[in-house]
Amino acid sequence: SQGEISPNYTKHKHIPVAVLFHSERNTRHGPVFTQEPSDSIFPLRSEDNKVFINCKAKGNPVPHYKWKVDGRYIDMDLNYNLVEGNLLINNPHATHHGGVYQCIATNVFGTIISREAKVQFAYLQNFSRKPRNTVSVREGQAVVLLCGPPPHNGEIKYSWVFNGRPSFLLQDTRRFVSQRTGNLYIAKVEASDVGNYTCVVRNMMTNATVYSSPTPVVLRRDAVMGEYEPKIEVQFSETLHVTKGSSVKLECFALGNPVPSITWRRTDGNPLPGKMKINHSNGVLEIPYFRPEDAGVYECVAENSRGKNVAKGQLIFQSMITHNANLQWECRASGKPKPVYRWLKNGEPLVLEVRMTCGRLAVSRINLLDSGMYQCLAENEHGAIYASAELKVVASSPDFSNSPVKKSMLIQRGGEVIMECRPHASPRASISWRRGGEFLKDSTRYSNSRNGTLRISNISESDGGRYTCVARNPFGTSSSTGTLVVKEPTKITVPPLSVDATVGESIVLPCEVCGDSSLDPTFKWFFNGKLIDFNRQDHFEMIGGSAGDLMVRNIQLKHSGKYVCMVHTVVDSVSAAAHLIVRGPPGAPEGLIVGEITDSTAQLSWESGPDNHSPVTTYSIQARTPFSIGWQAVRTVPDSVPGQMFHATVIELNPWVDYEFRVVASNNVGVGEPSMQSKQIRTKAAVPDVAPGNVSGGGGRRGELVIQWEPIPEELQSGEEFGYVVAFRPLGTSTWKQTVLASPDASRYTFRNDSIPPLSQFEVKVGVYNNEGEGPSSHVVVVYSAEEEPSEPPSRVWTRTLSASEIEVYWEPITQTASSWKIIGYEVLCWEEGMQESDAEMVRVTDPAALLSGLKGSTVYLISVRAQNSAGAGPSSPAVNVTTKKPPPSQPPGNIEWNLTNSKIFLSWEHVKAMGNESEVTGYKVSVVSVIEESLKTKTSEIVTFSVSRKHGSLGIRYQSRYSHLVSSRIAPTETNISLVRKRAGVYAL
C-alpha cells in the first residue's frame, strides 16, 4: 500500500501472498497525493489578483490532473489555469469562484480524488454611520459595550479606542475585549472611564480596518454601586471538540465589585501544562498543539471578597479508531453526525462484486485485474475526507540488480562479518550461500539467518575468498558474489601513560600502532569524552609524523582528565586511555568566618579549597582597611599557619578600625587565589598608644608661644572623641600648664601672653586621648617664644633710575651683631608723589637691593625700606625722592629700503625725531632674521638683534655652517644707512 493518510484516519492492510505494496523510487506505481487542497479563505487584493489552490501527487509515470468545483469539472479558460497540479484562479470574484474544489490525479495505473476543500474569500464591510446611544452607569457598576461588527468573512481582530487616542485601550483585570463577540467588558466603572468608546475591527487577511461610531459613557450621580459577588459574563462552551495539533483559546471574564480575580484549573487535579499561555490578566487561556493528554474539564474561577463564581467546559479530543481483518482493508473516521463511507477505484465507485461493509473493503481471489488506486471516502453533512492506497499484483524471479552482495569486504583477523543478501523477488526467495563451489552449512562459526544474512565469527586468514548468495523462487534462480579480504588487526604498541604535570609545563602523550601495512590508520584524540579540535584548541597539537602523539602545551588546571587515543582503519578501531593529573597552585579557601574580636586581635576560621593535586603547605592572612593601599599581609598566631590548620588569630591590629580579611593558600607549586573577603568588622576601642611626633614650635608675634606637631592618623586614634593634650612650662620651672584640643586634625597651638619675654625658652610636650582614656605624650622639647619686631629702619637708602619704568633701590643691611633680631627680609614701599604711604606698592626681598618695575615715565616716586623678622616688620626708613626717565621714542623708523651688493645688503631709513615728552634718539637697533637652508624641504630661522650708533659704516654677516656671526657697532642717530648680508631686517630707534 502506498499513499498518504489523512490525520483523521488510520488504516490497516493485510497483504496476501503475491500481492506487494512498496514504494521504491524507480518502481512504476499509481498516483499518491503528497499535497491536497485544504479549506482556505483568500484575500481579494487588487495588486495581486490571483489565488493558488495546491495539489500535488507522486506517481510513475507522472500523473496528470483535473479539477472539480461543486461537483462539476472545470474547463481551463482565462480564469482557470493549471500550474503543474495546482489550480490558479485569475481575477477571482467572491461570488463566482467560491465553492468546494477537488483535485483528480491520474496515470496508467489509476485515478485518485483529493479531499474536498471549501474556498472562500475574505472581506470586511463598513460600520453603519448611525450614532450610538449614550450609556449611563453608576460608579462601581459594571458595563458591557456592544461592538456589533459589520458583515465580514475571514479572521478578524477586535480592539477599542478611548476618546480618539492613537493607541488601543489596554486590557487588564478591570477591562476585557472578547475576540468572539468584539464586546468591551468593564468589571467596575471608575470616574476615569467617562468618555467616548469606538470599536475597531481589522480583517487579518485583507488588513482592512473599520471604525464604529463612538459610544458615549457618562456617570449617573444619583448613587454609587455597592459591592457584589462576581458574575461571569464571558465564558466558553460546555463541550468543545478539538482536533489533534490545533490551538484552542478559552475566554473567561467576570463583572463584580471589587474587581474579581480570574484563575484557571483542571477538575481532575492535574496541573496545567507548561505550554499553556494565560494572558490579558488571566482572561484568556490558550492551549497550543492540542494533544490527547490535554483533553478534560477546565474551570475558570472568578473571585472577590464578596464571593466567587465558576464556569467550566469539557475539551474532547477527536481521535481515530482502527481495526484489522484478514484479506481486507479497513478505514474508519469519527465525526458528528456519524460519517458514511464509499470506496472508489481509479476515481470511480467500486462495482458491486466487491464486498463493502461500512468502512471495510474485502477483496477476494486477487488477480492482476485488481491492480489500481483505491480510495476510502468518509462524509457527513459537514464535508468529506479521503484516504488512498495502491494495490499492485506482481510476480517476479529473484533480482539482484538493485541490491547486489557487497563486492569487497575488509575484516580483521579474529573479528566477525555479516554478509547481507536481499534480492527482489515475488514471492520471497529462499536463500543459500556457497564458497567457491561448496554450499555452506551452519556451524559454530557460520550461521545463515532466515532473512538471508550470513554471519562468520572468529575469522581466520583461511576464511578469505569469494562468497556467493543464491536466491530461488518458483519463477527462477539468481545469484550475487562478493569477496572477503582478511587483514591483520591493528594494535597500539606504545600507548599513552598516565602522568603528572605542573601548570605551565608541556608534555607528550604517545600513541604508536602496528598492523597491516596496506591499511592507513587515522588517529583521533578525545579529552574527557569530547573529540579534540586541533584547529580551535591552541594547547593541543598532534606530532610524530605517522604516529599519533599528542602534545599538550602550557598545561593549565582545566587540562586535567582522561585522554583517549583512538585509531581507526577501514576494518577495525582500537583505543588506549591515560589520565593527566595537573598540579597547580591551590584554589581559593572557602567559608571564611571572623570570630571573636578584641581591640587588636581577630579570630579567623575557614575551609580548604581544592589543592589542585599538590597539598597546601601554608596559609597566609591578608587584611584591608579604608586607610591601606590594597591588601596587606598581617601577623598571626601561629606566625606560619600550616596547611592542615584552618584557623588562626590575627594580631597587632589597630583599635577602632574597619577591617576586611582574606586567606591565601600556598603549596609547592605556588601561591593560589585568595578567598572571598570577609564581612567588614571593626576592632574594639582602646586607649591610644601612639604619641604625636615632630613636636616643634617658635615664631609668631610678640608675646606668643607657638607649638606644632604632626597629627595622629585616623587609623591610630583607637576610638571616638580623639584629641590632644598640650603641656608647656618655662625652662627651669616645675609646673606644667596644660590645654586640651578636641579636634583630631589639630596640629598647632598658640599661647598668647604679652608678658612673655622675646625668645624665651619653654619645655613642651603633646599627648593624646580618646573616650577610653589618656594615652602617651611626646618627648619634651625646648621651644622659643616669638621674638620682637625690629626697632630700627635700614640706613643709607639710595636709588638709581634705569629707564622710564624701572628704578633700582639700595640700602645698608641691618647686621645681626647690631641687633637682637633675626632679620629674614626687607619690605620696599613705593608710591607716587602726592599719594599716601598707605597706598604704596610693596616688594619683599631678602637681599639689600630691589628692582622696581612697571612704573610711569617722567614721574616722581617716594621710596622707603623696613626690615622684617618672624615677629613682623619694623619701622620704615625716611622716604627718598626719585624721578623716572622720559619714555622712549614712540614712532618707528620709516621708509626702510635695501639694496643687494655682492654678499651685502645696504639698508636705509628715515630719521626718527622724538616728541617733546620723549627721550632724545641716541641710536638705532637692527633685527635680522637669518634663514639657513639645510635641504630642499627643511628651513631653520634665526633672529639676530644688534644696535648701531656710529655715523658712517656698514655691518657684515658671514654665513658659516648653520649659524650667522654678527659684528656690530653704533650708528649715530643721523646715520640712516647700513649694509647687511641678508634681505629681511627690522630697524628700531633707541
- pLDDT bracket for residue 47 (50, 70, 90): low
Angle at 543 between CA 537 and CA 547, to 5 degrees: 125
Lowest mean pLDDT among 207-221, 386-400, 493-507: 386-400
What is the pLDDT of the chain when averaged over all its residues? 84
Within a domain: 985: no
End residue of a domain, out of 378, 394, 410 = 394
What gap in Å lies between CA 521 and CA 545, rounded to an integer? 12
SS3 416: coil
**Distance (Å, rounded) from C-alpha 716 to C-alpha 688?**
7
What is the mean predicted confidence (pLDDT) over 556-574?
91
Q: How many domains does the chain have?
A: 9
Residue 557 in 3-state DSSP? helix
**What is the domain extent for residue 803?**
795-815+822-883
Whether 615 has a pLDDT exceeding 90, the answer reads yes
427, HSE (Cβ side, Cα atoms, 13 Å): 7
Sheet strand arrangement including 296-304: 239-242, 307-317, 296-304, 261-266
Claim to verify: residue 675 and residue 733 sit in the same structural domain: no
Domain co-membership, 131 together with 221: yes
The pairing of strands 781-784 and 446-448 is unpaired
Helix (H) or strand (E) holding 597, with range, is strand 590-597
Of residues 962 and 566, the one with the higher pLDDT is 566
pTM (predicted TM-score): 0.44
Q: Which of 653, 659, 621, 627 is nearest to 639 (CA)?
A: 621
Q: Is residue 49 a contact partner of residue 90, using CB atoms and an 8 Å limit? A: yes
Q: From CA 211, how far away is CA 182, in angstroms rounded?
A: 12
Asked if residue 311 belongs to a domain, the reply is no
If asked whether residues 366 and 405 sit together in one domain, one would say no
Q: Where are the beta strands (DSSP E) in 785-908?
A: 795-801, 807-812, 825-832, 841-845, 849-852, 860-869, 872-876, 880-883, 897-901, 904-908
| 649-673 pLDDT per residue, tens | 999 999 999 999 999 999 999 999 9
d(CA 570, CA 677): 58
Give the C-alpha separation, 196 to 167, whole Å.
Answer: 14
Residue 8: pLDDT band (50, 70, 90) is very low
Question: Length of the chain, please?
Answer: 990
- 201 with 137, same domain: the answer is yes
| Residue 557 sits in the same domain as residue 477 | no
- Nearest by Cα to 68 from 111, 129, 32, 126: 111
Label the pairing between strands 512-514 and 491-494: antiparallel
Among 458, 487, 516, which residue terminates a domain?
Answer: 487
Q: What is the pLDDT of residues 899-911, one digit of tens each?
A: 877 778 888 888 8
Cβ burial, residue 958 (10 Å; 0-12/13-18/19+): exposed
Cis? peptide before 404, omega within 30° of 0: no
**Other CB atoms within 10 A of residue 403 CB:** 12
Check whether residue 145 and residue 205 sit in a common domain. Answer: yes
Whether residue 316 is contained in a domain is answered as no
Grid cell locating 27:
518502481
Contact assessment for residue 477 and residue 398, using Cβ atoms and an 8 Å cutoff: yes
283 vs 427, more confident: 283
pLDDT tens-digit readout, 847-877: 899 999 999 888 999 999 998 887 788 888 8
pLDDT in tens, 693-733: 999 998 888 889 999 999 999 999 999 999 999 999 999 99
pLDDT at residue 481 in the model: 93
Query: Are residues 134 and 76 part of one domain?
Result: no
* 236 part of a folded domain: no
CB–CB of 328/14 below 8 Å?
Answer: yes
pLDDT at 396 (0 to 100): 75
CA distances from 210 to 47, 154, 538 (A): 21, 14, 64
- H or E element: which one contains 94? helix 94-97
Boundary of a domain, candidates 121, 144, 161: 121
| 632: exposed, middle or buried (Cβ count in 10 Å: 0-12, 13-18, 19+) | exposed
Contact 226, 257 (CB under 8 A): yes
Residue 306: inside a domain, yes or no? no
Helix then strand then coil, % of the chain, to nearest 5: 5, 50, 50
pLDDT-derived band at 561 (thresholds 50, 70, 90) equals: very high
Does residue 166 fall inside a structural domain? yes
Dump pLDDT digits (tens) for 511-528: 999 888 788 889 999 999
In a domain, 364, yes or no: yes
830 and 876 together in one domain:
yes
Residues of the chain above pLDDT 90, percent = 46
Of 484, 506, 509, 486, the residue nearest 575 (C-alpha)? 509
Query: Which CATH number do you get for residue 551?
Result: 2.60.40.10
Q: Answer with the residue of higher pLDDT: 505 or 982.
A: 505
756-790 residue pLDDT tens: 988 899 999 999 999 999 999 999 999 999 888 88
Residue 852 lies in a domain: yes
Residue predicted with more confidence, 326 or 909: 909
Same domain for 96 and 34: yes
CB 532 within 8 A of CB 540: yes
Q: Are 118 and 41 in contact (CB under 8 A)?
A: no
Residue 791 has pLDDT above 50, yes or no: yes
Q: What is the bridge-based pairing of β-strands 408-412 and 904-908? A: unpaired
Residue, of 966 and 616, whose pLDDT is higher: 616
